[in-house]
């Protein structure tokens, strides 16, 4: 491990940072939107949809992310019909397949987090809101969900970091993210230790920054309870 090599590798690795960050935030946002929708379905007990959401959670929390990425990327190529459908331009893009897998995976875990947080809101809050004349929907959107989401924030912060680290798997479907460039560099230089130590360090710094941001958000969101 020498300084010159590090200076040579660093810019090459950082080329992949853009894909890693784009993918992290795109899948976090779409995952969050889906998770909120799923949580609503579970809390309000919309019957047929509830079963669908429960199946989705079972499938995506019960299988490894790598398997999900492979299935979504290589699965559709087995069906000729799908290759001629309007979905193919999207599914043929490795970027979209990675986004889909990460978003659905994150949605499944976040839904469980949010549902747990909603369940943890004391029954008294529900009763008070209803007694004040709010409809069930008003009580949910104005009292229960804001309260629950604030409570879920620390755990959701972990989920954000897990998604960021999960993006390192997308290089297996040819995306050139940070890990993709690390693989390429390792294959070229065989300097395995330096290359992956550097990649690990970059991930660590990103995790550190994300943790700080989440701490700040928590402080703001939970200010009322301090």
Partner 1 sequence: MKKLIATLIAATCITSVQASDNIRFGMEATYPPFEFVGDNNQIEGFDVDLANAICLELKAECSFNNQPFDSLIPSLKFRRFDAIISGMDITPDRLKQVDFSQPYYENSAVFIASKGTLSSIEQLKGQSVGVQNGSTHQQYVIDKLEANGVTVRPYDSVQNAFLDMTSGRVNAVFADTAVANEWMTQKGDGQYQHVGPEIKNPDYFGIGYGIAVRKGNPLKGKIDTALNTLKSNGTYQQIQNKYFAN
Q: How far is the CB of 86 from partner 1 (least distance, A)?
A: 15
Q: Which is nearer to partner 1, 146 or 200 (CB)?
A: 200
Q: What is the spatial distance between Cα 84 and Cα 129, in angstroms, rounded to a whole number? A: 52
Q: Which is nearer to partner 1, 156 or 181 (CB)?
A: 181
Q: Which is nearer to partner 1, 92 or 135 (CB)?
A: 92
Q: Which is nearer to partner 1, 63 or 83 (CB)?
A: 83
Q: Which is nearer to partner 1, 46 or 74 (CB)?
A: 74
Q: What is the spatial distance between Cα 117 and Cα 221, in angstroms, rounded to a whole number? A: 15
Contact residues toward partner 1 (CB under 8 A) are: 74, 76-77, 83, 92, 94, 171-172, 174, 176, 180, 183-184, 186-188, 190, 192
Q: How far is the CB of 85 from partner 1 (least distance, A)?
A: 13
> How many Cβ atoms are within 10 Å of 177's Cβ, its own excluded?
25
The number of CA neighbours under 13 Å toward the Cβ of 183 is 14
Q: How far is the CB of 193 from partner 1 (least distance, A)?
A: 9
Q: How far is the CB of 73 from partner 1 (least distance, A)?
A: 9
Q: What is the spatial distance between Cα 72 and Cα 134, in angstroms, rounded to a whole number? A: 43
Q: How far is the CB of 174 from partner 1 (least distance, A)?
A: 4
Q: How far is the CB of 105 from partner 1 (least distance, A)?
A: 21
17-44 helix and 192-221 helix, angle to the nearest 10 degrees: 40
Q: Which is nearer to partner 1, 152 or 185 (CB)?
A: 185
């Amino acid at each position: 491990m020498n300084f010159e090599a590090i200076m040579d590798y660093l810019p090459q690795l950082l080329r992949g940072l853009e894909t890693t960050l784009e993918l992290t935030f795109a899948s976090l946002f779409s995952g969050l939107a889906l998770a909120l929708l799923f949580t609503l379905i579970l809390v309000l007990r919309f019957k047929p949809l509830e079963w669908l959401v429960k199946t989705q959670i079972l499938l995506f929390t019960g299988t490894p992310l790598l398997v999900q990425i492979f299935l979504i990327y290589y699965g559709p190529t087995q069906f000729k019909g799908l290759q001629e459908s309007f979905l193919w331009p999207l599914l043929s893009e490795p970027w979209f397949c990675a986004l889909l897998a990460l978003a659905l995976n994150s949605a499944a875990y976040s839904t469980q987090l949010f549902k747990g947080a909603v369940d943890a809101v004391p029954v008294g809050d529900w009763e008070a809101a209803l007694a004040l004349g709010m409809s069930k929907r008003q009580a949910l959107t104005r009292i229960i969900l804001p309260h629950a989401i604030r409570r879920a924030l620390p755990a959701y912060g972990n989920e954000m970091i897990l998604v960021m680290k999960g993006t390192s798997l997308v290089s297996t479907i040819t995306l050139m993210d940070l890990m993709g460039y690390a693989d390429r560099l390792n294959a070229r230089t065989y300097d395995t230790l330096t290359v992956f130590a550097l990649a690990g360090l970059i991930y660590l710094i990103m995790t550190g920054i994300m943790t700080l941001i989440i701490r700040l958000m928590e402080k703001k969101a939970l200010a009322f309870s301090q």
